Amino acid sequence: MSTRNATLSGWLLCLPAIAIFGCFFLGPAFVGAYVSMHVWNGSSPTLAYAGLRNYTDLVGDGRFWNALWVTLAAFLAMALIKLPLALAIAVGLAKVGRMARFYRAALFLPYMLSTTTVAIIWIFLFDPYQGLVNQLLQDIGLESLQQGWLGQSSTALPIIVAGGVWWTFGLYVVLFTAALATMPRDYYDAARLETNSSFKILLHVTLPLLREQIFSSAVMLIGGVLGYMTGFILLLTGGGPAGHTETLGIVSHSLAFRALDFGHASAVSILVLLLVFSLIIVPTVRIARTRVEFR
């Protein structure tokens, strides 16, 4: 097959994926960008042109900046807890042997639960009046430690982050385990000729070879905080108390479906898209230039 025919065949094979990407990502993105420059209540047949006013309004809106801070704080907390712990367990499971499959399945099980199910579990645990945690504290005589976990500004976001970590933690363990399984043993054999320290091998061999998987996992985390965590937070706190758990996804949802202000809601979504794109484009280019391929 000639190079031209091979290229054509490749594009033909990619057409279904390109069509799906265009319909469900590019199309809505362009529509959102268009709506973000108009005033629209979601039902009116006409849209009033507003230019960049929706964006300038957000720049001066304290609620938007608070939501941006909450979103970044939730992402950083989940990344710093979830990724290192998932990697450590994946490395440990590689040495377990036949029981590794059972442990991976057990860790992956929460990820299969729906958003509503996980929210119900967390409410069952941390409800301030009938929650299991407060009941256990009372039973063991530690009433002084009882908290209104989801109703206090100091504990609401940490509890939500803990829920997000528990819910999706197993997925990252499976991803890291799969990535570790693809690494040639030659790298480790060569490293053991230099040192017997497992920590040094992890630091100088495993982590550099896993950088693509770590980066893609971080990108998935960003999408998770802006995606499935939005529904989770809506069910638990609705963004409260006093906006301490209100992410950008919550703000966009509230503006669109409560205030019926689809112009500002779309502007928030477009700003989120630009933020995510700016965070991932530079690392993606750098990783692509220095990519390691195993043969």
Q: What is the structure's pLDDT at 71? A: 92
Count of beta carbons in the 10 Å neighbourhood of residue 29: 14
CA 270 distance to own-chain centroid: 18
Q: Which residues pair with 82 in a beta bridge?
A: none
The CATH code belonging to domain 61-289 is 1.10.3720.10
Q: pTM for the complete prediction?
A: 0.86
Give per-residue pLDDT as tens, 111-147: 999 999 999 999 999 988 888 999 999 889 888 888 8
State both tokens at 226. Answer: 């802006």
Distances (CA, A) of 18 to 26, 101, 176, 216, 262: 10, 35, 28, 20, 28
3-state secondary structure of 38: strand
Q: What is the structure's pLDDT at 102? A: 87
Does 294 have pLDDT greater than 60?
no
Lowest mean pLDDT among 38-42, 128-132, 186-190: 186-190
